[in-house]
Chain A
Amino acid sequence: MNKIGYSLSTGRLSWENLRRKPFRSACLIIVVSILAFTLFGGSILVSSLQNGLTSMTKRFGADMMVVPAGNASKAEAVLLRGEPNFFYFDESLVTRIAQTEGITQVSAQCFLTSLSTECCDDLVQLIAFDPATDFVIQPWIAEVRSAAIADGQLVVGSRIEINSDGSIKLFNRNYPVAAQLSRTAAGFDTSIFMTRNTMDLLIDAAHKEGYAFIADREPKGSISAILARVDSKADAESIARSIKRNNQNVDVLVSQGILAGITGALQGLVVYINSFSIILWVVAVVILTAVFSGSVNERKKEFAVLRILGATRRKLALIVLSESALAGLAGSLAGIAAAGLVVFPFSTYIGLRLGLPYIQPGFGGVLGLILFSLVLSFAAGPLAAVYSAMRIGGAEAYFTMREGE
């Protein structure tokens, strides 16, 4: 580039001032980039957790879940964290639960776990539902597949890897995958769904292949959970207590209770992240104000010279504001890029570490959060410089030039 072929615009003057003071400029940029990193990283985190909770609430479907006594925590782990497990009780309980006052709909499910070496890195949860009564899994399948799934077909969660021929090997046999479900951030993402008939076929086939299921009862003909909906006017908690009272050998999980725990944890985290972001923003503005104030004070004579040369008060203010805007923009972009390098590649790890449902927003959502973080962190610079800009515009060049004489 021609070394003299540029005009000395306000932006150019500000750029030269930043370029010729690399340490001061680097400090300004680092403060803004830490702010942008926190705002963008924090907002992605909050948004992902809120998405996760929304999805989980939507997918939970039932108001309560009845499981064999002593298995409540295992069932919760299956639902929330996808930790595979199995437990069984007698199918006859479905009728008894359905007859409980306040219960409007019931459907049984049966759980099984795969072998670790077959389709996935870890064990996966196999969940069988009854197509005639199911009100949880089928509406969800309908979102990705219009036809009902036939016996012998599987529907898999979003994190299950499917073979190139569209099948999954379970207990040494291949089964066709009819559909893959959208992400929920819950245990459903590492689960495989099938009709009860398919699971019975799968169990028979497994027996023929020489596999035995270690449980206190044979899974075929048994069930693992009864999902129930309660009347909108009824109180789920009191119905759960009633079921427990009348059936000694069951535990009852109430959706509101499970989700309330997650919502509470999530709200705590969101409040923490938001408070931290606000405090950091205020601290960044205070630090930047001090830095700009000190810098302008140090350069008073420089600004007085500009006044002598014919710069208006407005021009001086623009130079200071434009310097802060350039530093703010550079810091914001650097901070957002750095946060992006952390939150996107490590989203699965972050979700696992948090132990909460975590679904990152889509492209539009991410773009919105980038803009939000960019505007807030960028604004910190010029906002911090306003005081200095006003002060320098009001200074009398004559007195400034004579200071120290």
Chain B
Amino acid sequence: MLLEIKELTKEYKRNGAPFSAVKDVRLSLDTRDFVSVIGRSGSGKTTLLSMTAGLLKPTGGSVTLEGRNIFDLKDEELSFVRNARVGYIPQGMSLLPNLTALDNVRLPFYLSKREGDAAAKALSLLDQVGISHLALIYPKQLSGGEQRRVSIARALINDPAILIADEPTGDLDADTTAEIMKLFGRIAQNGTAILLVTHEPDTISYGNRVYVMNAGTLTGKTETG
């Protein structure tokens, strides 16, 4: 199993009373899986993804990626896992404004020691997402859809085992949304597992499993493909 989430829980205090943002979530993904989690704003989707990527410590439960509980790792090891094995596409605009599209894409390549031609690989990924002609453009000159494509290319630069996407089409028009979702489909077919959260029902048809998240609880598994 590539990813195994067991009884994952995150509790906060709200006005002094305990509040579960995520409660006893169980989920597993294997290679080529394309899993969508749908739910309303505030249902705990982003919290779930953040814990899955090791960005947030849970109150309870575990996230086992390729056989290792990521919360047992030290900062250096966890950072390496996030850099090398997880491709994360955050919600909203997340490109570094002082770097060109190309540099944004190849940035994760340089965050750990590795050999290879990062520029050639980044250009190839930009080509795959259809914007290689914008390689030397800075983010503020790119449209929302173009920025999102750069984020996707960036998440793929280190050949991750799993791609985690937080509302990747949240602020895009219908045509661009469809293009991005098809792109995710192709990525999954190429062997990278995808875990995607969304609040848009139109996007769930692209995955092969759909879960519903409601008040921190994951329910309603549906096989779609």
Contact = CB atoms under 8 A, between A and B. Distances in A.
A305 interface: yes
A1 interface: no
Contacts, number: 84
Nearest to A16: B98
A8 B110 contact: yes
Nearest to B92: A401
B53 interface: yes
B79 to A, nearest CB: 4
B102 interface: yes
B46 A402 contact: yes
B97 A308 contact: no
Given A4-B119, A8-B107, A402-B46, A310 B98 contact: no
Nearest to A399: B56
A174 B75 CA distance: 84
Contacts of A353: none
Interface stretch (A181-189, A216-224, A244-252, A311-319): A311-319
B83 A16 contact: no
Interface of A is mostly: helix
B186 to A, nearest CB: 22
A233 interface: no
B102 A308 contact: no
A208 interface: no
Contact of B91 (A17, A310, A315, A401): A401
Contacts of B34: none
Interface in B36-60: 46-47, 50, 53, 55-56
A307 interface: yes
Given A302-B97, A310-B79, A401 B90 contact: yes
A9 B111 CA distance: 8
Q: Which residue of A9, A20, A21, A312 has the most chain B CB atoms within 10 A of its CB atom?
A: A312
Contacts of A306: 96, 107, 111
B76 A307 contact: no
Contacts of A16: 98-99, 103
A313 B77 CA distance: 12
B98 A309 contact: no
A213 B53 CA distance: 99
Given A7-B110, A8-B103, A8-B107, A398 B55 contact: yes
A313 B107 contact: no
B46 A310 contact: no
B55 A310 contact: no
Interface residues of B, number: 39
Contacts of B135: 4
A308 B82 contact: yes
A322 to B, nearest CB: 14
Contacts of A315: 79, 111
B152 interface: no
A182 B77 CA distance: 66
Contacts of B80: 310
Interface residues of A, number: 30
B136 interface: yes
A315 B82 CA distance: 14
A8 B97 CA distance: 15
A308 B107 contact: no
Interface in B50-96: 50, 53, 55-56, 75-76, 79-84, 88, 90-91, 94-96
B76 A312 contact: yes
A400 to B, nearest CB: 10
A3 B106 CA distance: 14
Contacts of B106: 8
A5 interface: yes
B75 to A, nearest CB: 6
A308 B46 contact: no
Nearest to B74: A312
Interface string A1-32: 00111011100010011011100000000000
B128 interface: no
A339 to B, nearest CB: 32
25 contacts: A4-B102, A4-B136, A5-B119, A8-B103, A8-B109, A16-B103, A20-B138, A21-B98, A305-B95, A305-B96, A306-B96, A306-B107, A306-B111, A307-B55, A308-B88, A309-B82, A310-B79, A310-B84, A310-B112, A311-B111, A312-B79, A313-B75, A314-B76, A315-B79, A396-B55
Given A306-B96, A309-B108, 10 more contacts: A4-B135, A5-B119, A7-B110, A8-B110, A16-B99, A301-B94, A302-B96, A310-B83, A313-B75, A397-B50
Interface of A: 3-5, 7-9, 13, 16-17, 19-21, 301-302, 305-315, 396-398, 401-402
Across the A-B interface, the 6 shortest Cβ-Cβ residue pairs: A310-B83, A20-B98, A398-B56, A8-B110, A398-B50, A312-B79
